[in-house]
Amino acid sequence: MNRTLTLIVKISLLKIVEFRASTIVTLRKFCIKYLLPFLFQSTNKYIYLGKKWQKFG
């Protein structure tokens, strides 16, 4: 009984960590794609095209 419980806890912890990791990756992608260009546009007019930053204007 005790053994099964620890196994279940371990598995659920792994799932949480996995989920958090994928969420962080998604958030980072979102930030790079939308937030950073927006911030740069308002200051230095940098635009993110594909995989490279491009100075604009």
* pLDDT score recorded for residue 47: 55
Task: Record the pTM.
Answer: 0.38
Q: What is the mean pLDDT of each run of 10 residues along the chain (57 residues)?
A: 84 85 84 71 55 59
Q: What does the alpha-carbon distance between residue 12 and residue 22 come to, in Å, rounded to a whole number?
A: 15
* pLDDT score recorded for residue 25: 84
